[in-house]
Amino acid sequence: MPDYIIHLICCASGVLLSSVCFFVGAFVMFLGGKNNNENNKTFLGKAKKGKVFTIPTKGVPEFPTEPSKEEKHILGKTTDFLKNLGGKT
């Protein structure tokens, strides 16, 4: 068998294998990306419903007027750090 036929068979099998892999991957992505609602069972399963939560804000001021003791400490440390770097605060 001539060498060029062997090379042609190898190249053709590589193209065929890569095409099959491309289409299988595209098919899996298509099935996984379908609209996942309650009545639509897809390849990757149904969509799980998440839990809804709320953060209680009753009695909590939106913007505290005076910084707390910890915030003042952090601001002081930040100011010292920036002065050491040559920054102006």
Q: What is the pLDDT of residue 61?
A: 73
User: pTM of the prediction?
Assistant: 0.41
Residues 6+ apart with CB under 8 A from 46: 36, 38, 40
State the pLDDT at residue 12. Answer: 97
d(CA 85, CA 33): 50
Write out the chain's pLDDT in tens, 89 residues.
Answer: 889 999 999 999 999 999 999 999 998 888 776 655 555 555 556 556 667 788 888 887 777 678 889 999 999 999 899 888 886 65
What is the pLDDT, as a whole number, of residue 89? 53
- Position 57 scores a pLDDT of 82
